[in-house]
Amino acid sequence: MPYDMIIQGGTVVTASDRFVADIGIKGERVETIAPNLPADGSQVIDAKGCYVLPGAIDVHSHLDMPFGGTSTADDFESGTISAACGGTTTVVDFAIQFKGQSPRQGLDAWHKKAEGKACVDYGFHLILTELPEGSESQLDGLVDEGVSSFKVFMAYPGVFMLDDASIFRLLRKTREVGALTTIHCENGGAIDVLVKLAREAGERAPKYHALTRPARAEAEATARAIALAEIAKAPIYVVHLSAAEALDQVRVARDRGLAAYAETCPQYLFLSTRNYEEPGFEGSKYVMSPPLREPGNEEFLWKGLRTDELQVVSTDHCSFCMNQKALGKDDFSKIPNGAPGLETRLYLLHDGGVRAGRISLERMVDLTATKPAKMFGLYPKKGTLSVGSDADLVVWDPEKKFLITNKALHSKADYTPYEGRAVTGAPRTVLQRGQVIVKDNSFVGKIGGGRFLRRGTFKSP
């Protein structure tokens, strides 16, 4: 029997090609991609009429994370089941070095959270909340262990925010060791003043979260981050870019030939400030940072996705239930920041991006699998379908109707920002390393079956 499994007759889609072929899987890897492979007793999955996509990669999740006076609703088990059911077979989650901890302690804590629970393969970036002068050498060993990207915040003063000097020292270090600095760009100091003024004026509603975090504060921080990276001669990756004027900063930098990269997220493509006007406390569902932007902003992001000003669509999955959001019932500044999204990314991008004619199917694969794999040291094991790659794949039925409701999803959050949105296109079967882990919207894999991925160093995509 030449193959353990054959994915038969589907349209294989990569970042660059689309063709009808069979995929022969042996053990955990793709062995052959060719037409009419002989079954000879292999297990066969009929993929006729479907696309066969590389398993998607989400390089921005927050699982089992203490934040905003509470902890995210999803841990590594529920979060990765949710990811798998939406066609994502790899997550790169943000481990945190809290103040007073060494980078190693932060990382060890996240290994413990994931081991025995993660249901898809996973890696870690490490969030640094302090980097005392002279401590940079502590990062060397981490890169050797496959943690080849770090995250710093220009927002959340007193919690996560790092000063410019520390960010600059990190950038110099990452350049030396081949790692990538990812960065949350919002001017935390200016935002804190605006929040204080709004509270003093008696403004308490969720919409003030957005009104106190202007797009300009994101654009300023984005320009500053890129300038620091330029001086350090290091690459930089802007996370969850939301505002057209922040994108302008990335475009200018890229036009100048700088290694400036950025991701956006579905919430900035499909939602807007209008959502904060929903009745009662519903607007709290959309309290995230950066906030949702004015209607019309999203068209600039779609253009950026088409023209490679933006390289990745990730989710920033950071899920809370409504009783957790209620911590800010009387004060918008106490609403835990974040929303669920791991499971809905491909549904939304396929329906609202590909079917709507905004991006090609190949570009969807590029943005959700290939580019993140290349930049975060996973390619070509992950992020494409080629001989020798891990057999992580999604049999995607482009005509299947799916109604997005929280009931149909698998996150432990008790709402989805996309409740009631009807989409066309859904995963039929999802494989991780040759094993079926999702069948018809049910997780059928093994709890804890995900493996830690030692990622390689940064490569320009």
CB burial class (10 A; 0-12, 13-18, 19+) of residue 415? buried
Q: Answer with the entry of Zn ion, ligand URP, none that 337 interacts with (C-beta below 5 to 8 A by kind).
A: ligand URP
Residue number, 147 or 318, with CB nearest to ligand URP: 318
Rounded to 10°, the helix 215-232/244-255 angle is 20
Instruction: Determine, following the binding rule CB under 6 A, whether residue 338 of this chain makes contact with ligand URP.
Output: yes
- As measured in angstroms, the least distance from the Cβ of 50 to ligand URP is 33
Residue number, 61 or 174, with CB nearest to ligand URP: 61
- Residue from 309, 316, 392, 397 touching ligand URP (CB under 6 A): that is 316
Site for ligand URP in 318-337 (CB under 6 A): 318, 337
CA 123 vs CA 43, 61, 105, 192, 239: distances in Å:
30, 11, 16, 32, 17
Q: Answer with the entry of Zn ion, ligand URP, none that 285 interacts with (C-beta below 5 to 8 A by kind).
A: none
Q: Answer with the entry of Zn ion, ligand URP, none that 345 interacts with (C-beta below 5 to 8 A by kind).
A: none
- Rounded CA gap, 380 and 303, in Å? 27
- Rounded CA gap, 263 and 309, in Å? 9
Given a contact cutoff of 8 angstroms between Cβ atoms, the answer to whether 242 and 217 are in contact is no
- As measured in angstroms, the least distance from the Cβ of 239 to Zn ion is 5
CA 447 vs CA 101, 436, 452: distances in Å:
30, 13, 14
Q: Find, among 98, 99, 126, 101, the residue nearest to 111 by Cα.
A: 126
CB burial class (10 A; 0-12, 13-18, 19+) of residue 404? buried
Q: Answer with the entry of ligand URP, Zn ion, none that 305 interacts with (C-beta below 5 to 8 A by kind).
A: none
Instruction: Determine, following the binding rule CB under 5 A, whether residue 184 of this chain makes contact with Zn ion.
Output: yes
Site for ligand URP in 181-200 (CB under 6 A): 184
Site for ligand URP in 238-277 (CB under 6 A): 240
Residue number, 129 or 337, with CB nearest to ligand URP: 337
- Residue from 23, 288, 394, 437 touching ligand URP (CB under 6 A): that is 288
Q: Answer with the entry of Zn ion, ligand URP, none that 338 interacts with (C-beta below 5 to 8 A by kind).
A: ligand URP
- Residue from 11, 78, 289, 319 touching ligand URP (CB under 6 A): that is 289
- As measured in angstroms, the least distance from the Cβ of 381 to ligand URP is 26
Bridge pairing between strands 5-13 and 51-54 = parallel
- Residue from 62, 169, 325, 350 touching ligand URP (CB under 6 A): that is 62
Residues that bind Zn ion (CB under 5 A): 184, 316
Residues that bind ligand URP (CB under 6 A): 62, 184, 240, 288-289, 316, 318, 337-338
